[in-house]
A and B are shown apart, each in its own frame.
Chain A
């Protein structure tokens, strides 16, 4: 199917690309810029929140775990593809450990099954991957040369354009 020219123009406006150094403050700045970009897309506010939560956790993971001792580059690209929204993150840090990337979908929360957990037993971490898996519709990791590449898919994020 041929894309119509107006659609292509709109898609041209829907790409976000940013490179920065992996520090918590740079991640915050990058996310603020990303939120501004996202707010200009026809994506429901509730879904935008989910996308921002997932990206924040994925970027924090890179800062904390891919570059545990030093900081290195992060490359973030995001775009609308038809009805889906896709973000790609690249870093040159430690490889993502196998098994950290289960299939998205309903997963056990950190405290599931405990109706009244003892506060002293509550975890102060480990929420990040749970949030990513809960909110993303697709996750795909690859290692190319010395780079990690994580692709995150949000299905049906963009509504159908109105009929002409």
Chain B
């Protein structure tokens, strides 16, 4: 699972570089996010702009990532493409996560 990490505007910004978060990659995704975010205190902003498709296993992995961050760090999502947004909407997970239209929006709102 390709994941590019940087720190920006008080966020740990994680850019997913794969086009799919699916059953074949869900465990690797969880592990990559855990490694990239552990030890920090900032909220995590997950940039999904390159992700065309997510399935229920991938969604479960995103939920697991949020739980693993614990009560003091929030998971933000940005750049949801239409098929990904649809999965979040239909499962009502769009009300659980803090979703921003773009990474730029998320960073601007945090400033």
B67 touching A50, Cβ below 8 Å? no
Residues in A with CB closer than 8 Å to B87 are 53, 127, 131
Query: Which residues in chain A, 77-129, are within 8 Å of chain B measured between CB atoms?
Result: 109-112, 115, 117, 119-120, 122-128
What number of B residues sit within 8 Å (CB to CB) of A? 27
Query: Which residues in chain B, 1-48, are within 8 Å of chain A measured between CB atoms?
Result: 20, 22-25
Query: With the chains together, A49 CA to B83 CA distance in Å?
Result: 5
State the Cβ distance, B94 to closest chain A Cβ, in Å: 10
Residues in A with CB closer than 8 Å to B57 are 60, 125
A57 touching B56, Cβ below 8 Å? yes
Output the nearest chain B residue to A49 by Cβ-Cβ distance. Answer: B83
B91 touching A109, Cβ below 8 Å? yes
Query: Which residues in chain B, 67-84, are within 8 Å of chain A measured between CB atoms?
Result: 67, 71, 82-83
Residues in B with CB closer than 8 Å to A49 are 82-83, 86
Given that A46-B82, A50-B86, A111-B92 are known contacts, is A28 also in contact with B60, CB under 8 Å in the complex?
no
Given that A111-B92, A123-B63 are known contacts, is A131 also in contact with B82, CB under 8 Å in the complex?
no
For the A-B complex, the count of residue pairs with Cβ-Cβ distances under 8 Å equals 88
Residue A135, interface by CB 8 Å: yes
Residue A24, interface by CB 8 Å: yes
Residues in A with CB closer than 8 Å to B56 are 57, 60, 125-128, 131
Output the nearest chain B residue to A116 by Cβ-Cβ distance. Answer: B95
Complex A-B: 27 CB contacts under 8 Å: A27-B23, A31-B22, A49-B82, A50-B86, A52-B53, A52-B83, A56-B22, A56-B53, A60-B23, A60-B55, A109-B90, A109-B91, A111-B91, A111-B93, A111-B95, A111-B96, A117-B96, A119-B96, A123-B63, A124-B67, A125-B56, A125-B60, A127-B56, A127-B59, A127-B91, A134-B90, A135-B90
Interface of A with B (CB < 8 Å)?
23-25, 27-28, 31, 45-46, 49-50, 52-53, 56-57, 60, 63-64, 109-112, 115, 117, 119-120, 122-128, 130-131, 134-135
